[in-house]
Amino acid sequence: MSSPATAAGPVTAAPAARPRRALRVPRPGYLAGKLAAAVVSFGVTLVIGFVLFNLMPADPVRTMTRGRPVSEAQLAQLRIQLGLDKPIWQRFLSYVDDILHGRLGYSWEYQQSVASLVAQRLGPTLLLMGTAFVISVLLGLWLGMRSGWRAGSLFDKVTSATALTLWSVPTFWLGMILLIVFSVGVGPIHGFLPTAGMSDSSLPQTGMTHYLDVARHLVLPALTMVLVVYAQYVTIMRSSIIEEKGSPYLLTARAKGLTDDAVRRRHALPNALLPSVTMIFMHLGGLISGAVTVEAIFSWPGLGDLTYQALTIPDLPVLQGTFIVFSASVIVMNLLADLAYRFLDPRVRAS
Amino acid sequence: MSTTPTVTPAAATDAPAGAAAAAPPRFAGARRFARSFRSRRAGLAGLGILLLFTVLALAAPAFIGPDQLDVTKVNGPLLAGPSASYPLGTDQAGRSVLMLLIWGARESLQIGVIATVLTVVFGSAVGIVAGHFGGFVGRALMHVTDWFIALPSLPLAISLAAVLGQGQASITIAIAATSWTATARLVRAQTLAVEARPFVERARALGAGNRQIMLRQVLPNVMPLILVSSTLTVAGALLSEATLTFLGLGSPTDVTWGEMIHDAFFGGAFTANAWWYLLPPGLAILAVVLGFTLTGRAVEHVLDPRMENKR
């Protein structure tokens, strides 16, 4: 989790550094460079995953068999079965090989391959994160644009104060409060939204009723995530519109006699949008953090809930699997954001 | 900020400002800073909140003993609403929520501050070294930082804490391990800016070595920025602490705000509609995080008036 203020620091540095590098490197090389960087990042993720989950736990076999009667011979047998008797470099190579082939290990708790667990849970997470992401981006960009354009106005002050307060609230706590108010019911409010899960098992699992049911279950988790996440987007958009506001081309637009509204929407917005969108994609890691806690609170059957359940056991293969899947998706999204920025902004492309 | 030397009576009672009146010029900056900070209401409010919670946290052992926090020794009603003897009600074990809240300030702030110190020391060291040694070392360090930035922080922190085991120590380490990157980047950028200035060149011409330049020339000039960024780091660390504890990574015997919310959620406060148990720890986290953020931003603005309209 990073604060809006510190978040703006490293991020504003990134677009400034990019054109300089692009000067030296021609276009195909740029693509290759970015790809190589992403591959190296993934490699580092693999190393961290290996160190965390394969080297640091004192004796995985004991953790695995905890609470069950096992003899020393059985333990030794398990160790050979898991390849724990081999030297570290061999274990690392077979670990990398496994992961690159999609074999993410075998869950101790679910007695099922981690890859199949992840596949089952991916859909709900994408639905929740996607919904929350789209709503908070639209809301954040709109509010950021309005408040940045009139920086210092009452609207700006109210927007910024609200965003800062909501950002300072722990996600899971906000989710619990919403859950109590809208699902359990407080005072005059009767709980009218479902407390947990993604659908009501007593209803048919197909067709329109099912979609409406899922939408009803989606309201609170998505709302919680939006409330905590949108603040970052407000800050990003606000500072980038303030940056654009002093530009000479806006003076030209005004001198042409355009209305303030047209200047803002047709001239300032497209230019401010560009860096904002890139930064938003670079902040996707924050969305994942939100997803873990929100899914845990609302028992939303996604990857975050899987992580949480694995944590309580602790089921290390599942934790390793979700860690690698989360990291890989962030790396891929950052790469796409990088490439999209270059594609969208002719100034970067030309240089 | 205008710096007209109108010394108000309030300024004379101010500790750094009062010392400055006795004339050592090194305090002139501090006096200017205090005056300019005082004109920022949000910053003052933030500082007030922080002072209140710090005093509470430090004074807590004076009126809270282990007997009041030990689930086996308390004899209050279970999950009872606010009353005269229990202003904020009781928890599922019969402990006073108010006592837990005050004691929680102690442990939560402790984790937040220690994690921040680790973060800032490590991040600044990496940042200064990466900025000072421009060549291979600097680039390698920056690449490592970039790799860590790319990793999603909560899954990494969860994994780390899960492997290290429950408890405050592993949570502190997990927070530090995931948040040092922002400080490192910031400090590196500032180091590059400082090293470009003439006095560093002068020091080098006078024969200063790498270590002396980094410690005596760069560090003092980067320090204000480090301090500002650390107030924001504490805010983030407190939120991470609450999140990790809530997810079950804290030790159940510790009393932190995150642990309180965890207990409230899983200990039946939820179905009993025990708002007096659920609300206070969350509001306390909100207040302290806001306090740190507001203070940090105010200091940031005072140090760099150019960002007046930026944020």
Band of residue A128 on the pLDDT scale cut at 50, 70, 90? very high
Which of B150, B154, B186 is facing A289, going by the closest CB pair? B154
pLDDT at B284: 92
Q: What is the mean pLDDT of chain A?
A: 79
Asked if the model's pLDDT at residue B310 lies above 60, the reply is no
pLDDT tens for B276-288 read 888 888 999 999 9
Is residue B248 in a domain? Answer: yes
Residues in B closer than 8 angstroms to A316, CB to CB, are: 162-163
Coil, strand or helix: which one is A35? Answer: helix
Please list every residue in chain A whose beta carbon sits closer than 8 Å to the beta carbon of residue B293. Answer: 3, 5, 164, 168
Q: Return the minimum-mean-pLDDT range out of A92-106, A148-162, B294-308.
A: B294-308
B293 inside 8 A of chain A by CB: yes
* SS3 state of residue A151: coil
Structure tokens at A114: 């981690």
Q: Note whether B182 contacts A10, CB cutoff 8 Å.
A: yes
B192 interfaces chain A, CB cutoff of 8 Å = no
Domain span including residue B254: 53-60+95-310
Question: What does the alpha-carbon distance between residue A336 and residue A282 come to, in Å, rounded to a whole number?
Answer: 10
Q: Is B70 a member of any domain?
A: no
For residue B167, what are the contacts with CB-CB under 8 A and spacing of at least 6? B250, B251, B254
Best residue in B191, B259, B292, B311 to probe A by mutation, most A CBs within 10 Å?
A: B311
Residues in A closer than 8 angstroms to B164, CB to CB, are 56
Q: For residue B273, count other CB atoms closer than 10 A to its CB.
A: 16
- Judged by CB atoms closer than 8 Å, whether chains meet at B309 and A242 is answered as yes
Question: What's B158's domain CATH number?
Answer: 1.10.3720.10
In a domain, B18, yes or no: no
**pLDDT-derived band of residue B20, with 50, 70 and 90 as boundaries?**
very low
Q: What percent of chain B has pLDDT over 70?
A: 84
Closest CA of chain A from B271, distance in Å: 8
Does the CB of B168 have a partner CB in chain A at under 8 Å? no
> Measured between alpha carbons, how far is A148 from B311 in angstroms, rounded to an integer?
9
Q: How confident is the model at residue A349 (pLDDT cuts 50, 70, 90)?
A: low
How far is it, in rounded angstroms, from Cα B141 to Cα A26?
A: 25
More confident residue, A4 or B204: B204
Q: Does A296 touch chain B (CB under 8 A)?
A: yes
Residue A337 sits at the chain B interface (C-beta within 8 Å): no
CA distance B179 to chain A (A): 8
CA distance B239 to chain A (A): 6
CA separation for the pair A167, A163 (Å, rounded): 6
Which CATH architecture fits A41-64+77-350?
Answer: Orthogonal Bundle (1.10)
- Taking CA–CA distances from A309, the nearest residue in chain B reads B247
Question: Where does the pLDDT of residue B117 fall: very low under 50, low under 70, confident under 90, or very high at 90 and above?
Answer: very high
The structural domains of chain A, with segments of one domain joined by +, span: 41-64+77-350
Whether B259 and B245 have beta carbons less than 8 Å apart is answered as: yes
pTM: 0.80
Task: Indicate if ipTM > 0.90.
Answer: no
B3 located within any domain: no
| A137-146, A205-214, B248-257, B299-308 — most confident range | A137-146
Mutation target for B interface from A18, A159, A168, A245: give the one with most B CBs within 10 A.
A168
Pick from B156, B159, B290: CB nearest A168: B290
Scanning every residue of chain B, which has its alpha carbon at the shortest distance from the alpha carbon of A169?
Answer: B286
Strand partners, A106: A113
B300 at the A interface (CB within 8 A)? yes
Asked if A1's CB is within 8 angstroms of B243's CB, the reply is yes
Q: Say what percent of chain A tops pLDDT 90.
A: 8
Q: Least CB-CB distance to A326: which of B152, B258, B279?
A: B152
Query: Does residue A102 sit in helix, strand or coil?
Result: coil
In a domain, B5, yes or no: no
Chain-chain contact of B281 with A334 (C-beta, under 8 angstroms): no
* pLDDT greater at residue A116 or residue A57: A116
Contacts of A7 in chain B (CB under 8 A): 182
B165-196: per-residue pLDDT in tens? 888 888 999 899 888 988 998 899 889 888 88
Contact list, A293 vs chain B (CB under 8 Å)? 154, 243, 246-247
pLDDT in tens, A157-183: 899 889 888 888 888 889 888 888 887
Q: How confident is the model at residue B12 (pLDDT cuts 50, 70, 90)?
A: very low
What was the pLDDT predicted at A98? 81
Most confident of A83-92, A259-268, B266-275: A259-268
Tell me which of A52 and B286 has the higher pLDDT. Answer: B286
CB contacts, 8 Å: A289 with chain B: 152-155, 243
Per-residue pLDDT band at B123 (split at 50, 70, 90): very high
Residues 78-117 of B with CB under 8 A from A: none
Q: How far is the C-alpha of B82 from the C-alpha of A130, rounded, in Å? A: 41
Number of domains chain B contains: 1
Nearest CA to CA, how far is A206 from chain B (Å)?
31
Confidence of residue B306 (pLDDT cuts 50, 70, 90): low
